[in-house]
Each structure stands twice: as structure tokens, then as C-alpha cells.
Amino acid sequence: PVVHWFPGHMAKATRMIKDYVKKVDVVIELLDARIPRSSANPVITEVVGQKPHIIVLNKVDLADAKATKAWTEFFTAQGITVLAIDSKTGKGKKQLVKAVERLSKPIIDKWTAKGIRSRSVRTIILGIPNVGKSTLINSLAGAAATRTADKPGHTRGQQWVKIGKNLELLDTPGVLWPKLEDQRAAARLAMTGAISDDVYDLEAVMKQLLMQLTEQARDVLMARYKLKEEHLVSTDTLLDAIGRKRGCLVSGGVVDLDKARRIILNDYRSAKLGLLTLDAVDEEPYYTDGEDK
Ligand code: G4P
């Protein structure tokens, strides 16, 4: 994939997010439940610093339930508070508010002990593009949200939205850059639609998706496209067979491969090939294609 992030931009983005994070007491990091490792920002720890931190696995409605459980256990084992939610329907958002309130309790206790008149606890949602930040903010804020007035020192337009007892959310999310240097992660970001369709190599991305589908969703794949065993011997035969079944033919009976690729990609994204989590907990966390940089 072609990467549009440069070191200068990343340094500036890091500074901006750090400024955002300074204003809050608890940080909510949104990950895509289908790719909890690939959708994490590479320098999130540096960005978040010492603030209490909650991981939210969003789009859980599109992920494999067993994998979501495994990822939840993985983060829990590291002492991180983790929740799975579906921001589109709002399923799980009450638990999220409760978790933030729970994590902020020690902060309020500290304020009380110091004799500081306690104010509302503040939180922010951080995440890579398209992970569902705006959807979650809208869901938490609700249509008739009580918005507190702009406070001095905050960028105009940014507002605090009351989302719980003594709890306010910044209505502007912090946008983090995705993990594009890891080619396996970059391809999965493309598969899930986190990277815009015109900046990556569709052929390479789809080769990887077809391999994962063959491995993880063989039966669904065969049923949906009415395939035979012999079509599964390679990603080329698979793509060709699906293209023929779907009538992606150009003159001379040749398959329009890109058309076939797009059909499969759309089917994956809309969960027509089942609920598939692409990142596995027990994979190598970093992937290199063997080339020296
Ligand atoms: P962002 O602010 O992080 O950039 O993401 P945004 O909220 O714009 O969401 C990106 C896409 O993901 C939207 O789809 C949104 O509806 C979808 N989405 C967000 N949360 C969830 C979720 O929990 N489950 C599912 N299934 N989808 C979710 P879109 O294609 O841009 O629009 P539309 O399909 O809603 O029309």
C-alpha cells in the first residue's frame, strides 16, 4: 500500500494527540474487533502516557465471537480494561460508561483527599480512521445531549458532552494514524476498509484475504460461490472460479479479475462471508516480508 504518512506528520500528530490527552482523565482507545492488533496505533503507549486507558473492541457485530473472547482475555491478562461494543446499535455502551466511571473513581478520591472540589471526569475517544469514533460519540451523546458551554483554552467548536454521572466526553475524537509499516497489518486495514480504496494494491490485498478466507471460512466460501474442492487449490483458481460464477467475464471468456476481487471484498466487509476476525491472538505480533529495509 502507498503510505501517505511521513515522519514529520507523525511527529505533529503525536504532539496534537498529546495535547488532547492532557485535557482528559481517562482515555478510550477504539480498535476494530476484526483486527485488534492491526488497528492499534504503533505508538499508542507514548501517546496515552500514564493516563488510565480503556480498550474498546468496536464493530463486534462483524467479528468472530470466539476470537473476541480470546482478545478480551489477552488484554485483560495485561491488566487493561477491555470491552466489546457495537456502536451502530449502541450495544455495550452502558457498560463502557460504567467502566470509565469505575476507572475514574481513584481520581475523584484523590481530588477529595486533596480537598479539591471535584469537577467532572473527562474522557476522549482515540482511534484510527473509520474505526467508528464518530458513531460511538453520537451514540453516547444521544440526540438531546446536554452540551456544556465552550470552556476557555479549548479549540472553538470542541465541546464536552455529559455521558454519565460526573462524566464528560470530548465531542471531537482524536484521530490516530494506522500501522502501515507492517505489511500484514496494512493489508488487513485495507480489507476492513480502514484505508481508502485508492491507495493500496488490490491484487496483493485480495491475495491475502483469499488465503485467510480459504483457511478460516472454507465452507461459507464454497457455499456462497458454489465452489468445488478443486477451485480451492490456489488463490488464482479460486479468484477465477468466483469470477466465472459471478459473471465477471470480458470478451473471449476471460475473467475480469479486479471486478471479481471487488465483489469478494464487498462480501467480506458486509459479513456475507461470515463473521471473521483477521488478527489472531497467537500470531507473531510483528510481520516482515523478509526484505531488509
Ligand atoms: P470514524 O469516526 O472513526 O472515522 O468512523 P465512523 O464513525 O465514521 O464509522 C465508519 C464506518 O463504520 C461507518 O460506516 C459506520 O457506520 C461503521 N461503524 C461504526 N461502528 C460500527 C459498529 O459497531 N458496527 C458496524 N457494523 N459498523 C460500524 P459507513 O460505511 O461509513 O456508513 P454506513 O454503513 O453506516 O452508512
Q: What is the pLDDT of residue 54?
A: 97
In the chain, ranges of CATH 3.40.50.300 domains: 7-175
Give, using CA atoms, the residue closest to atom 22 of ligand 1. Answer: 59
Ligand 1 pocket test, pick from 89, 93, 130, 134 with the greatest ligand atom count within 8 Å of Cβ, gives 130
pLDDT tens column, 232-244: 999 999 999 999 9
Whether 150 shows a pLDDT value over 80: the answer reads no
As for ligand 1, residues whose beta carbon falls within 6 Å of it are: 58-59, 61-62, 86-88, 127, 129-135, 173
pLDDT of 293 reads: 40
Q: Which amino acid, residue 69?
A: K
- Calculate how far, in angstroms, residue 135's C-alpha sits from the geometric centre of ligand 1: 6
Range 201-269: architecture per CATH: Orthogonal Bundle (1.10)
**Are 47 and 126 contacting, i.e. CB atoms less than 8 angstroms apart?**
yes
212 CB burial (10 A radius; 0-12, 13-18, 19+): middle
Mean pLDDT, rounded, for 248-259:
94
Phi, psi dihedral angles at 121 (to 5 degrees): -80, 145
* Residue 145 vs residue 218, higher pLDDT: 218
**H and E: helices and strands count for the chain:** 10, 9
Strand partners, 82: 55
Closest CA to 3 of 129, 180, 175: 180
The domain defined by 7-175 folds into: Rossmann fold (3.40.50)
CA of 58 to the centre of ligand 1 (A): 10
Residue 129 CA, ligand 1 centroid: distance in Å: 10
> What pLDDT band is residue 156 in, cutting at 50, 70 and 90?
low
Question: Ligand 1 mean position to 258 CA, how many Å?
Answer: 25
Q: Does residue 91 sit in helix, strand or coil?
A: strand
Name the residue with cell 471526569: 121
Number of the ligand 1 atom closest to the C-alpha atom of 131:
3
What's the pTM? Answer: 0.92
Average pLDDT over residues 174-199: 92
One DSSP character per residue, 36-82 reads TTTTS-TTHHHHHTTS-EEEEEE-GGGS-HHHHHHHHHHHHHTT-EE
Phi then psi for 40, rounded to 5 degrees? -80, 145
Mean residue pLDDT across the chain:
90
Residue 81 has pLDDT above 70, yes or no: yes
Tell me how far the alpha carbon of residue 72 lies from the centroid of ligand 1, in angstroms: 21
**Per-residue pLDDT averaged across 79-95, rounded?**
97
Q: What is the average per-residue pLDDT within 40-64?
A: 94
* Cell numbers representing residue 133 in the block: 469514533
The pLDDT value recorded for residue 181 is 86
What mean pLDDT do residues 58-80 have? 97
Reported confidence tier of residue 199, pLDDT bands at 50, 70, 90: confident
Q: Which residues in the chain are classed under CATH 1.10.1580.10?
A: 201-269
- Residue whose CA is at the smallest distance from ligand 1 atom 9: 132
DSSP-assigned beta bridge partners for residue 123:
26, 169
pLDDT band of residue 157 (cuts 50, 70, 90) is low
Give the Å distance between the CA of 86 and the centre of ligand 1: 10
pLDDT at 290 over 80: no
pLDDT confidence of 263, banded at 50, 70, 90?
Answer: very high
pLDDT at 271 over 70: yes
26 three-state secondary structure: strand
Closest residue by Cα to atom 16, ligand 1, is 88
The pLDDT assigned to 6 comes to 65
